[in-house]
């Protein structure tokens, strides 16, 4: 399950520092969060899809690592990011 190109560009525009910024931590966290939202919608209809659930857990771990890194690097930006994305942490 990949994100639509238009959705990716919108997220990059909102959270990136410049137009082609795909490598910064806020952009990566926002893209992963959007992907997790889509996977959660998938699991609402396909409750027994255990193989995809493993992938979901791997993605959650990846986002957790990026969030920890960003919290150390930029605490104020981290607080703003979790409020913007609606992540509870």
Q: What CATH number is associated with residue 16? A: 1.10.287.10
pLDDT in tens, 41-85: 999 999 999 999 999 999 999 999 999 999 999 999 999 999 999
Residue numbers of the domain that contains 67:
5-85
Sign of CA dihedral 10, 41, 52, 25: positive
- For residues 1-30, give the mean pLDDT: 91
Domain tally, the chain: 1
How far CA 86 is from CA of 45, 47, 71, 79, 81, in Å, comes to 23, 24, 16, 11, 8
* Phi–psi pair at 37, nearest 5 degrees: -60, -40
Q: Is the pLDDT of residue 3 over 90?
A: no
pLDDT band with cut points at 50, 70 and 90 for residue 1: low
């Amino acid at each position: 399950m990949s994100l639509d190109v238009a959705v990716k560009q919108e997220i990059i525009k909102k959270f990136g520092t410049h137009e082609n910024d795909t490598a910064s931590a806020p952009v990566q966290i926002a893209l992963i969060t959007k992907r997790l939202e889509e996977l959660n919608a998938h699991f609402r209809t396909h409750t027994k899809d255990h193989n995809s659930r493993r992938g979901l857990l791997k993605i959650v771990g990846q986002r957790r690592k990026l969030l920890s890194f960003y919290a150390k690097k930029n605490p104020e930006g981290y607080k703003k990011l979790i409020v913007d994305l609606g992540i509870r942490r």
